[in-house]
Copies of this chain bind each other. A is one copy, B any other.
Amino acid sequence: MLKKVLDLAANNGFLSRSKSLNDKFKIGPVGQLLCQNINSEWFHNIVINKELTVVINDGDLSETYNYVKNLCSEKLPFGIADSEKIKKYTADEYRENCDTGIDFKNLLCNEDDIFLKFCVFVSPNESMRYFQRWQKQRRIWYKKFSASPERYSVSDVKNIGNTQSVNIEAKYPWGSHTVESLELNSHDENFTNEQLQFKDGKLITAHTITSRIHLSTLFLNSLCDSYDEPFFQDKSRPLWRFHRKLAPYKLSFALTGSTQSILNELNDLGLYLCKQLRTNHVSTLFLPSASKSTLDSQYVQYDQLGIPYTVVLNERTLKDGIGSLRNRDTTLKEKVHVTELVSYVDKLFKNY
């Protein structure tokens, strides 16, 4: 099963097989787009947070901490987000410590391991409530983007010294993967006592809640989560059911016409619409092959790239301006007038 996922990924630019390194994988060009979207959704969820002031650290954590503490007039809570690069060999030890991504760790052979880290500083009498809310919010985050939300669960709490920790786990036919680890620490050793002290009537010591995600694990998890092989005319057709916010390409174009001159006209129309969509920052794929293959083989290609919608233009479109929008998941088409395509797509992709 996992092998099928990896094969589909390797055949469609999500992964590339690196022959020199014992068949390990690198992230391919389309996979890079997926990775960027994952990263940016994390950023929007964590940094542009609903409740806290959060700053980004890149370098001296202690200095960043002092900056944000000062910015917030020494009032809790606040947060620091961090994307930590760790050299591969160190990362292996690190990962064993924090119990993240054990299973996926030997699949990718990128040079550095990137961990997305987020730490929130809270007052001790609110820390338990925050910790529970965080677990819930993070689990919801995974469910939101998932093709099978029931896959995600939170493990039991482990208590070690000053620390309580839980993992968010994703369940697959071949076993479970830890996608994120959360930790509540009543005495975080990355900071001095003095740094963690706040005045709130009396003197209090801030607790920290830390979330850790291994980016490559999150990436591979997105692939495994969205892999599906629905039956179509008695044969299974593997495809990706990426959430529309994560999909590397949001839209593609399929053209069909009986003569070359009609195809040329449709190609011009498609290119024009594609430019409009891209101006609107919608990642759109327009391939030269669109006018050369059958509709069905175009759909197969686009489904294997996990593209949520395909704009279908045919001879009639040239007469009445009506094209259709094929949905990857339902395979149904709805009619859209080409002049309304851009604003309609805008609405489709705005919400989660």
Which residues of A line the B interface, CB within 8 A?
13, 16, 18, 26-30, 32-33, 36, 40, 43-44, 47-51, 53, 55-60, 63-64, 67-68, 71-73, 75, 80, 110, 275, 278-279, 281-289, 292
In the complex, what residues of B have CB within 8 A of residue A13's CB? Answer: 55, 67, 71
Can you list the 10 inter-chain pairs with the closest CB atoms, starting with the nearest?
A29-B55, A32-B56, A75-B288, A73-B289, A73-B288, A26-B59, A50-B275, A50-B278, A48-B283, A29-B64
Query: In the assembly, what is the distance between CA of A56 and CA of B283, in Å?
Result: 13
Number of chain copies forming the complex: 2
With most chain B CB atoms within 10 A of its CB, the pick from A50, A281, A283, A284 is A50
In the complex, what residues of B have CB within 8 A of residue A32's CB? Answer: 55-58
Question: In the complex, what's the smallest C-beta–C-beta distance from A187 to chain B, in angstroms?
Answer: 24
Question: In the complex, what's the smallest C-beta–C-beta distance from A262 to chain B, in angstroms?
Answer: 19
Query: In the assembly, what is the distance between CA of A43 and CA of B40, in Å?
Result: 12
| A72 pairs with B288, CB closer than 8 A | yes
In the complex, what residues of B have CB within 8 A of residue A53's CB? Answer: 285-287
Given A16-B63, A64-B29, A67-B29, also A281-B56 (CB < 8 A): no
Of the candidates B73, B75, B287, which one forms a contact with A72 in the assembled complex, judged by CB atoms under 8 Å apart? B287
In the complex, what residues of B have CB within 8 A of residue A57's CB? Answer: 29, 32
Given A16-B59, A73-B288, also A36-B26 (CB < 8 A): no
In the complex, what residues of B have CB within 8 A of residue A59's CB? Answer: 16, 26-27, 110
Of the candidates B48, B67, B275, which one forms a contact with A28 in the assembled complex, judged by CB atoms under 8 Å apart? B67
Question: In the complex, what's the smallest C-beta–C-beta distance from A229 to chain B, in angstroms?
Answer: 23
Specify the main secondary structure of chain A where it touches its partner. Answer: mixed
Question: In the complex, what's the smallest C-beta–C-beta distance from A159 to chain B, in angstroms?
Answer: 32
Query: In the assembly, what is the distance between CA of A13 and CA of B65, in Å?
Result: 11
| B286 pairs with A26, CB closer than 8 A | no
| B44 pairs with A281, CB closer than 8 A | yes
| B16 pairs with A73, CB closer than 8 A | no
In the complex, what residues of B have CB within 8 A of residue A289's CB? Answer: 73
Query: In the assembly, what is the distance between CA of A73 and CA of B16, in Å?
Result: 19
Closest to A40 in B: B40
A-B contact sample (7 more), CB < 8 A, given A33-B55, A44-B281, A50-B279: A27-B59, A28-B64, A28-B67, A40-B40, A48-B278, A50-B275, A51-B275
Question: In the complex, what's the smallest C-beta–C-beta distance from A257 to chain B, in angstroms?
Answer: 18
Question: In the complex, what's the smallest C-beta–C-beta distance from A92 to chain B, in angstroms?
Answer: 20
Query: In the assembly, what is the distance between CA of A214 and CA of B72, in Å?
Result: 33
Query: In the assembly, what is the distance between CA of A67 and CA of B27, in Å?
Result: 13
In the complex, what residues of B have CB within 8 A of residue A50's CB? Answer: 275, 278-279
In the complex, what residues of B have CB within 8 A of residue A47's CB? Answer: 33, 283
Query: In the assembly, what is the distance between CA of A288 and CA of B53, in Å?
Result: 10
Question: In the complex, what's the smallest C-beta–C-beta distance from A241 to chain B, in angstroms?
Answer: 21
Closest to A32 in B: B56
Query: In the assembly, what is the distance between CA of A44 and CA of B16, in Å?
Result: 24
Closest to A288 in B: B75
| A43 pairs with B48, CB closer than 8 A | no
| B51 pairs with A16, CB closer than 8 A | no
Query: In the assembly, what is the distance between CA of A12 and CA of B75, in Å?
Result: 18
In the complex, what residues of B have CB within 8 A of residue A283's CB? Answer: 47-48
